[in-house]
Amino acid sequence: MTPKLQIKPLPPEHLATPFTWAQQEGWNPGTHDLIPFTQVDPMGFIGGYLNDELVATISAVRYNQHFGFIGFYIVAPTHRGKGNGLQVWNAGVERLADLPCVGLDGVLVQTDNYQKSGFKFAHKNCRYEGNPEQFRAKASGKLDQGEHLKPLAAVGVDTLVSFDERYFPTRRETFLNAWATQTDHHGFAIMRGHEICAYGIIRSCSMGYKIGPLFAQTPVQACSLVLALCSNLDPQTPVYLDPPASNAVAINLAQSLGMRMVFETARMYKGATPSLPIENIYGITSFELG
């Protein structure tokens, strides 16, 4: 008799499994992503179990009563094609069913399936890869007079959260408190007087480093942040940036720095599609959490 799939929140001893599976799938998660992700929503990771064996996972994270995000939708290779993934997917969608907006970044070939669950395509996100040596050789432009770089640790949390809220579907104070201070994460802001006009964070990953988020008002600001964030890295270290495909200026900046596109996702939303200033988003925070 075929055992029935048991669906339940992941216990603490299994929370690292989705990140391990994501690494094996080539998604290159951050080395220390588990801590900030689970601080946002400790019950947000769901597993499908067969005879106590974890065979499928999904994250259905509630930022608050306004916004949630789906990620880490993975089925163990030996258990694919048996309906296990669909059951876990339905459980994740159901967990966030009461929210007015839910987002995801999915592989392009699955967009039709996500649409069946009520998700609508918003835009593509593109993963670009380069290295600090390329960036330093190809960068150009100087910050405007009155603008200066400042370590993110020296910027007040309330100031950072209020600025970030303009570029993300909801206020995310809990997440940013963890994301900006986590081990092997560091960031810079560009200040104009006492006001933030741009900021970015870089973190170590399974392979190389990822920059995200990267929010800026001009390509010069974005470029200056890339250089500052990579200033202490080995020149040949892989660095990744995930700009929205619909931000032509961001794509042009990535290409002008010698980066090449290696991956694409479909950003989709269920419910109301957020109105965001895509032209100022040079790098999203994470494919797994928005």
| pLDDT tens, position by position, 131-186 | 999 999 988 888 999 999 999 999 988 999 999 999 999 999 999 999 999 989 99
**What does pLDDT average to over the chain?**
95
Q: From 74, 97, 123, give the residue that closes a domain.
A: 123
Percent of the chain with pLDDT over 90: 93
The residues pairing with 263 across neighbouring beta strands, listed in sequence order, are 127
For residue 274, give the CATH number of its domain: 3.40.630.90
In whole angstroms, what is the distance from residue 124 CA to residue 136 CA? Answer: 28
Treating both helix axes as pointing N-terminal to C-terminal, what angle do 219-229 and 248-256 enclose, rounded to 10 degrees?
Answer: 40
Q: What is the pLDDT of residues 32-70, one digit of tens each?
A: 999 999 999 999 999 999 999 999 999 999 999 999 999
1 belongs to a structural domain:
no
Identity of the amino acid at 235: P
Same structural domain, 225 and 111: no
pLDDT, position 2: 67
289 belongs to a structural domain:
no
Q: From 91, 108, 123, give the residue that closes a domain.
A: 123
Provide the domain count of the chain. Answer: 2
Same structural domain, 97 and 111: yes
pLDDT, position 66: 96
Neighbour count for residue 166 (Cβ, 10 Å)? 11
Which letter does DSSP use for residue 205 in this model? B
Same structural domain, 105 and 179: no
For residue 25, give the CATH number of its domain: 3.40.630.30
Quote the domain boundaries for residue 223. 126-283
What predicted TM-score, i.e. pTM, was given to this entire model? Answer: 0.95
252 belongs to a structural domain:
yes
pLDDT, position 1: 57
